[in-house]
């Protein structure tokens, strides 16, 4: 998948992974890049494990399948680390981004692929403080945008506003989601 940046998001239904991937894809397209975002669901219910796939490229993307060898893996629900090999197929020195308060050393113990660049963010804490609910997707989006140079920050903010306005959220909730994205962008932490 030369020239295509691939992200696989592990989450549970209702955490907003699909929406986050769609916003990032739209922001990339707005910047003149090519992108695709889609999800694979397990049992169709809130809280069930799911995967979301996101591809970004400067050239046309001619493949539409699950991502087997991601450049980045994002984990919205850290409990998935206990029973899912989230690093399966991850490229050498790939990025693992986890929504957690745990230290990177603790996360590394739970991963099968140990040569990953591990980043953590307390997206749940950001969401609870700013939005008032455990919806970590916009804070995670901020972290993804910071880590992937193909995704423009300004367009990420614009697309977040547009998507949530389109979903008929009130102005205050739209503003809070943008604030969570900005804080996620600013607070991402890493130990290699």
Residue at token pair 């680390």? 81
pTM value surpassing 0.85: yes
How many domains, in total, are found in the chain? 1
- Which range of residues forms the domain containing residue 28? 4-191
The pLDDT tens digits along the chain (192 residues) read 568 999 999 999 889 999 999 999 999 998 899 999 999 876 656 677 899 999 999 999 999 999 999 999 999 999 999 989 999 999 999 999 999 999 888 999 899 887 889 999 999 999 999 999 999 999 999 999 999 988 888 889 999 999 888 887 889 999 999 999 999 999 986 544
Contact assessment for residue 155 and residue 117, using Cβ atoms and an 8 Å cutoff: no
**Residue 134 belongs to domain with CATH number:** 3.40.920.10
Whole-number Å distance between alpha carbons of 135 and 141: 11
Tokens representing 61 are 């993307």
The half-sphere exposure of 107 on its side-chain side, counting CA atoms within 13 A, is 27
């Amino acid at each position: 998948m030369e020239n295509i940046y691939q992200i696989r998001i592990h989450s549970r239904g209702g955490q907003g992974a699909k929406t986050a991937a769609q916003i990032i894809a739209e922001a990339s397209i707005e910047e003149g890049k090519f992108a695709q975002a889609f999800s694979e669901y397990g049992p169709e219910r809130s809280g069930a494990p799911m995967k979301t796939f996101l591809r970004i490229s400067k050239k046309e993307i001619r493949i539409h399948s699950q991502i087997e060898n991601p450049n980045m893996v994002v984990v919205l629900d850290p409990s998935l680390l206990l029973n899912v090999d989230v690093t399966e197929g991850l490229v050498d020195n790939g990025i693992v981004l986890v929504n957690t308060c745990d230290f990177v050393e603790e996360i590394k113990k739970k991963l099968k692929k140990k040569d990953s660049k591990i980043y953590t963010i307390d997206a749940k804490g950001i969401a609870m403080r700013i939005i008032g609910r455990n919806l970590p997707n916009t804070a995670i989006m901020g972290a993804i945008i910071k880590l992937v140079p193909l995704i423009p920050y300004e367009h990420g903010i614009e697309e977040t506003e547009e998507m949530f306005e389109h979903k008929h959220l009130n102005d205050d909730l739209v503003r809070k989601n943008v604030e969570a994205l900005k804080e996620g962008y600013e607070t991402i932490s890493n130990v290699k």
